[in-house]
Amino acid sequence: DAGVTQSPTHLIKTRGQQVTLRCSPISGHKSVSWYQQVLGQGPQFIFQYYEKEERGRGNFPDRFSARQFPNYSSELNVNALLLGDSALYLCASSLAGSGNTIYFGEGSWLTVV
Amino acid sequence: QKEVEQNSGPLSVPEGAIASLNCTYSDRVSQSFFWYRQYSGKSPELIMSIYSNGDKEDGRFTAQLNKASQYVSLLIRDSQPSDSATYLCAVSLNNAGGTSYGKLTFGQGTILTVHP
């Protein structure tokens, strides 16, 4: 079975630009969450979506937005990119609910120059 | 105080030794605890989950949870050079509705090096 798939794997953007990252969850998983991992730190929670509704949001500015589609895939959008947005963006999927195992995709490496 | 703290590392152990990784968390309502392994340039990979007080063993890995002390640890027996990676402790926090909906709070990670 396919795991969590993310695209693109690597991208370089200029300050002020916008970026869209895409994620397809494991088949049957209805919950998708997004994390940002800056070099040398643990992942930080950005968003969680379940059944196409936002269920949680981390401490990130409004420049960050996301959505989930009827097929449970998801997009993360970041506007007005800053140098500090350079990070590994991880998508994770799970069945739902408390304690369910969360599986990560390979991530999208974003470099802002 | 950080929500999840790990021993700062880096931790270096000889091949065949036991590696001990520690993690403390601040929120007493935390219910689910995970250890992820992350190789350089790769995404986190789940290696252990634990939900109840006590020990849970899986091959060379043992997770230990003490909710009263808000402490979770990971022991790696017979450490191998292939175990060299960053180990991330993650905690699932229940919201008022009793479900975490996929939110994990991670520690900063501990870099483990196993030398031959």
At A35-92, the pLDDT tens digits run 999 999 999 999 999 888 898 899 999 999 999 999 999 999 999 999 999 999 999 9
Look at residue B25 and tell me whether its pLDDT is greater than 60: yes
| Range with the largest mean pLDDT of A55-59, B19-23, B28-32 | B19-23
The torsion angles phi and psi of A110, rounded to 5 degrees, stand at: -110, 125
Mean pLDDT of chain B, nearest integer: 89
Look at residue A96 and tell me whether its pLDDT is greater than 90: no
Look at residue A22 and tell me whether its pLDDT is greater than 70: yes
The per-residue pLDDT for range B54-110, each reduced to its tens digit, is: 999 999 999 999 999 999 999 999 999 999 999 999 998 754 344 555 688 999 999
Beta carbons of B100 and A97 less than 8 Å apart: yes
- Assign 3-class secondary structure to chain A: CCCCEEECCEEEECCCCCEEEEEECCCCCCEEEEEEECCCCCCEEEEEEECCEEEEECCCCCCEEEEECCCCCEEEEECCCCHHHCEEEEEEEECCCCCCCCEECCCEEEEEC
How far A30 CA sits from the closest chain B CA (Å)?
10
User: How many interface pairs between A and B have CB atoms less than 8 angstroms apart?
Assistant: 81
CB of A88 within 8 Å of a chain B CB? The answer is yes
Greater model confidence, A74 or B31: A74
How far B34 CA sits from the closest chain A CA (Å)?
9
Beta carbons of A55 and B49 less than 8 Å apart: no
Which pLDDT does position A92 carry in this prediction?
93
Which pLDDT does position A97 carry in this prediction?
52
Which pLDDT does position B100 carry in this prediction?
54
Nearest residue in A to B111, CA atom:
A40
Report A:20-59 residues touching B (Cβ under 8 A): 31-33, 35, 40-45, 48, 50, 55-56, 58
Mean pLDDT of B22-44: 90
Which pLDDT does position B98 carry in this prediction?
47
Contacts of A42 in chain B (CB under 8 A): 4, 88, 90, 106-109
Beta carbons of B95 and A56 less than 8 Å apart: yes
Beta carbons of B100 and A50 less than 8 Å apart: no
How far A50 CA sits from the closest chain B CA (Å)?
7
Nearest residue in A to B5, CA atom:
A42
Distance CA B88, CA B23 (A): 9
Distance CA B5, CA B96 (A): 24
Nearest CB among A48, A96, A106 relative to B103 is that of A48
